[in-house]
Amino acid sequence: MTAEPAPAHAARPRGPMVELDPSGRVNPKEPDRARRQFLNYAFFRIDPAFRRLPREERCALHREYVEVLRRWAARDDVILRTYTLEGLRADCDFMLWRIAHDVRRFNEMQRDLNATGMAGWLSPAYSFLSLQKRSQYVNRIEGSGQGVELLPGEGQFLFVYPFVKTRAWYALSPHARQGMMDEHIHVSAPFKGVRLNTSYSYGIDDQEFVVAFDSDYPQEFVDLVGRLRFTEASLYTQRDTPMFTCLKTTPENIFTP
């Protein structure tokens, strides 16, 4: 039996790990105990039967749900941003972007929402959990967890998707990966109206990253993603779907009763 030829990227030599110092010894790495922000992108779908309820009942369920959202949005230990996807995607109607230093806040908030009458008419469509930290490719000197604080929801649109690299990416040398990411960063630089929030999901969810682009200009985002398809790093993308276009709104307007 003839063996299949190895993919082109398999010929790349594996370089030293970044923890090696100039003498070749491995530097011991201290455990990361930095206080970081957790992120949760929670997408929900409304049961179509909800629309057939009497309007007065729908309004009461809506008010109760929004009241819980408002109460959590007013807290100091949670950042909450609300988005609608009605008319933009078929499998979900709204999204809650939740950020907290303690991941248990997401659990507590969802329990409060699940206790409302509206929860009986909602189904969780998708949920992505991730952790914020500084990119090793953007800042190579400072620790990856230092000085990172996310202030989300500046734009009217949020473009969100889970992201997974191929295993071949991790077999590349640090220098090879850095070179490709330098190209990636250079290509992205002209698109000033798009702000990137990349967070990390290693070990805490199915994807490796959650990518969220904050912008007022959907056309600029489309041009940016199209341009990134031509970079070498894109060859190492295993999965970057589903993709969500989320429209920022108030808690009252995430869905209409």
Mean pLDDT of 225-248: 97
pLDDT at site 12? 54
Least confident segment among 17-31, 43-57, 108-122, 138-152 = 138-152
Mean pLDDT of 143-150: 45
CB half-sphere exposure, 41, CA atoms < 13 A: 32
Confidence bin at 34 (pLDDT 50/70/90): confident
Confidence bin at 70 (pLDDT 50/70/90): very high
pLDDT at site 135? 76
Mean pLDDT of 192-207: 94
Confidence bin at 18 (pLDDT 50/70/90): low
Confidence bin at 148 (pLDDT 50/70/90): very low
Least confident segment among 66-70, 86-90, 143-147, 211-215 = 143-147
pLDDT in tens, 120-137: 999 999 999 999 987 777
Evaluate if residue 85 carries a pLDDT over 90: yes
Evaluate if residue 147 carries a pLDDT over 70: no
Confidence bin at 142 (pLDDT 50/70/90): very low
Evaluate if residue 207 carries a pLDDT over 90: yes
Evaluate if residue 141 carries a pLDDT over 80: no
Evaluate if residue 146 carries a pLDDT over 50: no
Evaluate if residue 168 carries a pLDDT over 70: yes
Confidence bin at 76 (pLDDT 50/70/90): very high
- State the chain's mean pLDDT as an integer: 88
Evaluate if residue 144 carries a pLDDT over 50: no
